[in-house]
Amino acid sequence: MGNEHDEVVVQEVGLRDGLQRLSSIMPTGDKKHWIDTAYAAGVRHMELASFGVLATLPQLIDGAELVAHARRHDGLVITAVATDEAGARAALACGVHRIVAPISASALHSLSNVRRTPREMIEEFRKIRELRDRTDGTRSTKVVAALATALGCAYKGAVPHVEVCDVALQAVDAGCDELALADTTGLATPDKVVDLIEILRPFCSDKLKTAHFHNTCGLGLANVVAALQCGIHSFDSSLAGLGGADGPKSASGNVVTEDLVFMLESMGYRTGIDLRKLMGCRTVLNRTFGQRALEGFVARSGVPDEFQLQPMLWSSTHA
C-alpha cells in the first residue's frame, strides 16, 4: 500500500498517556531508560510529560526531568500536554517542541477532564498560543489542539459532527498549528473515521495531521488504516498498549506501538523504527508492571523471520 514517498510518524505516548492513570508508579530511572532504548530503536517522536491539571498525578510529577533528559538526544521531537496557560509556560521553559492541549467536543467530558467547557478551553488555548508567540526562543514550538471525544464520548455516546466541527473551527481561529483527532474512548469504527475526516477537511485545510486511537473494541489498527487512506500520516501509540482508560468505562488500552510499526512497515510505509529493537524496550516495563499487564500480538507471536524494515528516505517529519 505504501510507496517510496510514504513515511509515517509514530509518536510514542506511553510515558504520558500510558502511565498517567496506572496505579503502579514507574521509577524515574526506568523512564529514562525507556526513552533511551526507544530512541536507540529509531523512535523520534515522544510525548513525555503533562503540565497543568494532570501534572499533579504521582505518575507524572517527574515530567520536567524527563524532558531535560530527552533533550540530550539529537533529532528527538518532544511533546508535552498542557491544560492551561501556566502549564504551557512550564512546558516552554523545559524546551519542548510541541504542546498539545486537549479540547473536547463533549462538554460533559471536558468538564470532567479539564474542569472547563469546550469554549473555555478554546480561550485557554488562545492564551497558550499567545504565550508561545511572545516568549523569546519558542516561536518554533508548535501548539496542537487535540480534538478529544471526536468519535464518541463515554458520558454522552455519539458526538454530533457539527459539535466536532465547531470546536475544530474555533481551534483554527485560535491559532493552532495542528489539529489532532482523538478517539478518546475507543468507540470509533473505520467508516466513522473516514466520514469525520472528510467532513473536517474542508474546514481545517492542512492542519489535520495526527490521529490518536484507542483499542477498546479491537479496532485501533483498522482505524489507523482508515485514517491513512484519508491522508493522515502521524499516529500516537503506546509501548505494550499501556494506558488508554478514560471516563467511567475502562478502555482496553492504546494502540500497541509494536503492532502499529509491524503493520505499517509490512504495508510498505516507512517509520524509521527497528521493530526488533523496539521489542527489547518491553523489558523495562516488566520490572514495574509484569508481563501479564502488557499487550501486543507481535510480542506474543514473535517477529516473523521474513519481516524486513522499509528503507528510510530523508524527511522533515523525522527531523
Q: Give the pLDDT of residue 3.
A: 60
Q: Give the pLDDT of residue 305.
A: 87
Residues above pLDDT 70, as percent of the chain: 94
With vertex at residue 288, the alpha carbon angle to CA 286 and CA 291, rounded to the nearest 5 degrees, is 30
State yes or no: pLDDT of 249 exceeds 60.
no
Which helix or strand (DSSP H or E) is residue 234 part of? Answer: strand 234-237
- Taking only the tens place, the pLDDT of each residue in 28-71 is 999 999 999 999 999 999 999 999 877 778 999 999 999 999 99
> Using 50, 70 and 90 to split pLDDT, how confident is the model at 192?
very high
Mean pLDDT of the chain: 91
Tell me how far CA of residue 170 lies from CA of 29, 87, 125, in angstroms. 40, 21, 10
State yes or no: pLDDT of 193 exceeds 60.
yes
Query: Among 97-106, 214-223, 237-246, 274-283, which is the least confidently predicted range?
Result: 237-246
User: Which fold would CATH assign to domain 9-318?
Assistant: TIM Barrel (3.20.20)
Tell me how far CA of residue 20 lies from CA of 14, 81, 160, in angstroms. 9, 12, 29
> Using 50, 70 and 90 to split pLDDT, how confident is the model at 248?
very low
Number of Cβ within 10 Å of residue 93's Cβ equals: 13
Tell me how far CA of residue 236 lies from CA of 2, 36, 110, 212, 265, in angstroms. 19, 19, 21, 5, 16
Task: Determine whether 172 is exposed, middle or buried from the number of CB atoms within 10 Å of its CB (0-12, 13-18, 19+).
Answer: middle
Residues above pLDDT 90, as percent of the chain: 75
Q: Give the pLDDT of residue 49.
A: 96
> Using 50, 70 and 90 to split pLDDT, how confident is the model at 251?
low
Q: In the structure grid, which three cell numbers stand for residue 20, read together?
A: 498517567
CA distance 30 to 228: 33
